[in-house]
Amino acid sequence: MAVMHKLLHYIFAVLRDQKSFEKRKPEDHQSWRKTIAFVIGL
């Protein structure tokens, strides 16, 4: 059930944003966390 929910979330996010799906490497995907942690001072 949780996997289905996650897949639907991805699909509808792509439709909402009108962007094509792009597969990212884990390093690229995690880079936003480092940026946010830096901004909020963690």
Q: Sign of the CA dihedral 8, 11, 15, 17?
A: positive
Q: DSSP for 9-40, please give it.
A: HHHHHHHHHT-------HHHHHHHHHHHHHHH
Residue-averaged pLDDT of the chain: 78
The pLDDT, as a whole number, for residue 11 is 86
Confidence band (pLDDT; 50, 70, 90) for 37? low
Residue 17 has pLDDT above 80, yes or no: yes
The pLDDT, as a whole number, for residue 38 is 66
